[in-house]
Amino acid sequence: MVQPLSSRQDLKIDPLQQWVQRALEWVAAHRQTFFSIVGTVAVVAGVTVFIFSNFRNLRKQAWERYAAGQNWSFSNQPDNGLNYFNEVINNYGHTPAAVFALLGKGDLLYRQGKFPEAVESYKRCLEKNSSKMILPFILAGMGASQEQMGDYSSSVATYRQFLSEFSEHYLSPKIHESLGRVYELSHNPDAAKEIYEKIITVFPGSSWAEKARVRYQTISPQPFQTPLPASTTPPPQTK
C-alpha cells in the first residue's frame, strides 16, 4: 500500500524531533561540558539578579539621602543639607539622584553667597548630561551665580543659552529681565534696551513688562512706544 504524503505538521515535527535527538546525544557524549555550561549560565543569572537588586536598593538610598538634604537645606542648619548632598554625589554618583544633589548643592551654595562654589556645582551637573527637565534650573542658577560674581560675560552667555533652548519656559520672563540687567551692569545700554523692548512686546500687561518699561525709560531719553497694529482701512484712492 502506498504511504500517504506527510502533512505540513509532520514536516514541522520531524526536523524538531531530529534536532532534539541530536541534542540529547550530544549531551550524553559531552555530559561534563554540558553541566559546566549550565552552571555558568546559572551563576551569571544569579549575579545579574543580585546586581539589579543591589542597584535598585542603592537608588532608593540615594533618593532618601537627597530628600533629607533638601529638608535640611531650608532649615536653620543648611550645612547638614550640604553634607547629605555631598554624600549622594560621592557615594551614589551613578544614580539619577546625584544630578539632583548637584543642583540642590548649587542652589544651597548660592543662598549662602558662595557663588564660585555654586557655579562649580552647576557645571558638574551639566557635565552629567542632565535631562531637559532640570536643565533650565541649572542654567538659571549658574547665570545668577555668575552675575553675582561680576562675571558678566559668562552670565550673558548662560542666560542667552537658556533663552535659546527654553524660550517657552515659565522662567523665561525672569531670565529676560536678568539678561537686560546684566547688559546694563556691563555698560551695554543698547543691548539692554533691546531686551526690555522684547519683554514689553512679548509679555504685554505683565509685571515683567511694567518693570522693563521703567528700565527702558531710565536708559533711553525717549519713552518706549508700543507699536500700533497695522491699519485695516484701505488708503484713499486718487482720481
- What are the extents of the domains in the chain? 55-130, 131-220
Of residues 117 and 35, more confidently modeled: 117
Q: Which pTM value belongs to this model?
A: 0.70
Indicate the CATH number for domain 131-220. Answer: 1.25.40.10
Fold matches, 55-130 and 131-220 = yes
> Which of 12-16, 75-79, 103-107 is the least confident region?
12-16
Q: What is the 3-state secondary structure (H, E, C) of the chain?
A: CCCCCCCHHHHHHHHHHHHHHHHHHHHHHCHHHHHHHHHHHHHHHHHHHHHHHHHHHHHHHHHHHHHHHHHHHCCCCHHHHHHHHHHHHHHCCCCHHHHHHHHHHHHHHHHCCCHHHHHHHHHHHHHCCCCCCCHHHHHHHHHHHHHHHCCHHHHHHHHHHHHHHCCCCCCHHHHHHHHHHHHHHCCCHHHHHHHHHHHHHHCCCCHHHHHHHHHHHHHCCCCCCCCCCCCCCCCCCCC
Label residue 17 by pLDDT band (50, 70, 90).
low
Q: Does domain 55-130 have CATH number 1.25.40?
A: yes
Q: How confident is the model at residue 94 (pLDDT cuts 50, 70, 90)?
A: confident
Most confident of 35-39, 93-97, 116-120: 116-120
